[in-house]
């Protein structure tokens, strides 16, 4: 068994934005070296949207369109939907029998998320939400994945997956599950246009489907150095959101921009124009590919069907092994 496998997933909770691109770049690169399974985690989305599922089908479809548009290759990777591979539910149930309650309660996202939803008037303290990280462990272990490319916020979940794998293997005396490693992308967290975390709920994101006008509108609204009122005021790029973007998206010009800003020789409007051009160049091919896919929904459905099929094949094999090991 030399084949190395990767599994990762995202919840379909709205349009992808450019903050997702660093994780996705990692997903794309890994396709060359590993057998990759990329999953739309629709059951995970239910943990917070259980009372409002009307849009979920559309969101799943759009997520697959976005992934393929940014460069995931459905020939190389299995792009699939969690709820279409029922083995996720079976493994989740079996693992739940051997998972101590305290492991779930101490996952940092548990209390944080409950509090942040509570502040918005929503109670998400359900049995399903408590089990969120365990469902994620089942997702990963079902493919006997050796690594999981994710953002930093997911590290505690991957750590718990390693603990579950260890516990299972120890309890049943067989090395059924490898302990998966986390693979972090290079780029640091990209802030939203107001400097806070980029998120649809703050309306501070730039969607990867944004039109040129929308990109300019968001760039124009970005917060800059508040001490700069006139063009010749000396600037402090280190406190400026536009500059953080220049560093990531304008590799060749950002040093020059930094110097000009400090000397008060470039205005924020001109600086934003430069950034806008870079963002538009980056998003344009993605936007065009999205449009082609949206016009060919059957092609997208075929990608999903084939991905589901490939995921099921592996999932069924793992479950046979799990059942034999557990004498179930
Ligand atoms: N919890 C992940 C997130 O919110 C999504 C996810 C579900 C996932 N299952 C996974 C990520 C398995 C990696 C592996 O982004
Ligand atoms: Fe920010 Fe650019 Fe204005 Fe300097 S010139 S404060 S880097 S927007």
Instruction: Tell me: do 219 and 242 sit in the same domain.
Output: yes
Residue 201: inside a domain, yes or no? no
Residue 265: inside a domain, yes or no? yes
Instruction: Tell me: do 177 and 115 sit in the same domain.
Output: yes
Instruction: Tell me: do 158 and 103 sit in the same domain.
Output: yes
Amino acid 13: pLDDT: 86
**Domain of 17: which CATH number?**
3.40.50.620
Residue 280: inside a domain, yes or no? yes
Residue 274: inside a domain, yes or no? yes
Residue 74: inside a domain, yes or no? yes
User: Which of 6, 41, 139 maximizes ligand 1 atoms within 8 Å of its Cβ, making it the mutation to test the pocket?
Assistant: 41
Instruction: Tell me: do 17 and 109 sit in the same domain.
Output: yes
- Residue range of the domain that includes 254: 210-289
Residue 197: inside a domain, yes or no? no
Sign of the four-CA dihedral 40, 43, 46, 51: positive
Amino acid 313: pLDDT: 98
Query: Which residue's CA is the nearest one to ligand 2's atom 5?
Result: 268
Instruction: Tell me: do 42 and 75 sit in the same domain.
Output: yes
Instruction: Tell me: do 49 and 26 sit in the same domain.
Output: yes
Instruction: Tell me: do 317 and 283 sit in the same domain.
Output: no
Instruction: Tell me: do 126 and 230 sit in the same domain.
Output: no
Spell out the per-residue pLDDT of the chain, length 328, in tens.
468 999 999 999 888 999 999 899 999 999 999 999 999 999 999 998 898 888 999 999 999 999 999 999 999 999 999 999 999 999 999 999 999 999 999 999 888 889 988 888 888 999 999 999 999 999 999 999 999 999 888 999 999 999 999 999 999 999 999 999 999 987 667 899 999 988 877 889 999 999 999 999 999 999 999 999 888 999 999 999 999 999 999 999 999 999 999 999 999 999 999 999 999 999 999 999 999 999 999 999 999 999 999 999 999 999 999 999 999 9
Residue 196: inside a domain, yes or no? no
**Domain of 216: which CATH number?**
1.10.240.10
Amino acid 90: pLDDT: 98
Instruction: Tell me: do 145 and 37 sit in the same domain.
Output: yes
Name the domain count of the chain: 2
Amino acid 109: pLDDT: 86
Q: State how far the Cα of 184 lies from the Cα of 269, in Å rounded to an integer.
A: 34
Residue 263: inside a domain, yes or no? yes
> Ligand 1: does its nearest atom lie under 6 Å from the Cβ of 150?
yes
pTM of the model: 0.93
Any idea which ligand is nearest the CA of 43? 1
Any idea which ligand is nearest the CA of 83? 1
Instruction: Tell me: do 123 and 142 sit in the same domain.
Output: yes
> Ligand 2: does its nearest atom lie under 6 Å from the Cβ of 274?
no
User: Which of 6, 8, 80, 148 maximizes ligand 1 atoms within 8 Å of its Cβ, making it the mutation to test the pocket?
Assistant: 8
Instruction: Tell me: do 240 and 281 sit in the same domain.
Output: yes
Instruction: Tell me: do 180 and 231 sit in the same domain.
Output: no
């Amino acid at each position: 068994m030399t084949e190395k496998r990767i599994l990762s997933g995202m919840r379909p909770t709205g349009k992808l934005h450019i903050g997702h691109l660093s994780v996705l770049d990692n997903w794309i690169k890994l396709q060359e070296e590993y057998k990759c399974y990329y999953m739309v985690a629709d059951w995970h989305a239910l943990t917070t949207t259980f009372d409002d599922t009307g849009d979920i089908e559309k969101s799943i479809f759009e997520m697959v369109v976005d992934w393929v548009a940014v460069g995931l290759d459905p020939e190389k990777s299995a792009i699939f939907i969690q709820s279409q591979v029922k083995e996720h539910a079976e493994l989740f149930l079996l693992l739940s029998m051997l998972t101590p309650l305290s492991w779930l309660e101490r996952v940092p996202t548990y209390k944080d998320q409950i509090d942040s939803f509570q502040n918005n008037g929503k109670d998400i303290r359900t049995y399903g939400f408590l089990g969120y990280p365990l469902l994620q462990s089942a997702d990963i272990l079902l493919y006997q994945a050796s690594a999981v490319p994710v953002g930093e916020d997911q590290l505690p979940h991957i750590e718990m997956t390693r603990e579950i794998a260890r516990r299972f293997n120890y309890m049943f005396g067989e090395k059924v599950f490898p302990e998966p490693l986390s693979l972090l992308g290079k780029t640091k967290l990209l802030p939203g246009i107001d400097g806070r975390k980029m998120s649809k709920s703050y309306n501070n994101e730039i969607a990867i489907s944004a039109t040129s006008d929308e990109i300019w509108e968001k760039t124009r609204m970005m917060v800059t150095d508040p001490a700069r009122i006139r063009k010749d005021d000396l600037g402090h790029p280190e406190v400026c959101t536009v500059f953080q973007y220049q560093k990531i998206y304008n590799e060749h010009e950002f040093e020059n921009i930094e110097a000009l800003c400090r000397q008060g020789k470039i205005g924020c409007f001109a600086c934003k124009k430069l950034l806008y051009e870079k963002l538009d160049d980056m998003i344009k091919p993605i936007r065009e590919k999205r449009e082609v896919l949206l016009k060919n929904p059957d092609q997208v459905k075929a990608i999903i069907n084939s991905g589901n099929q490939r995921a099921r094949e592996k999932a069924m094999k793992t479950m046979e092994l799990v059942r034999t090991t557990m004498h179930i």
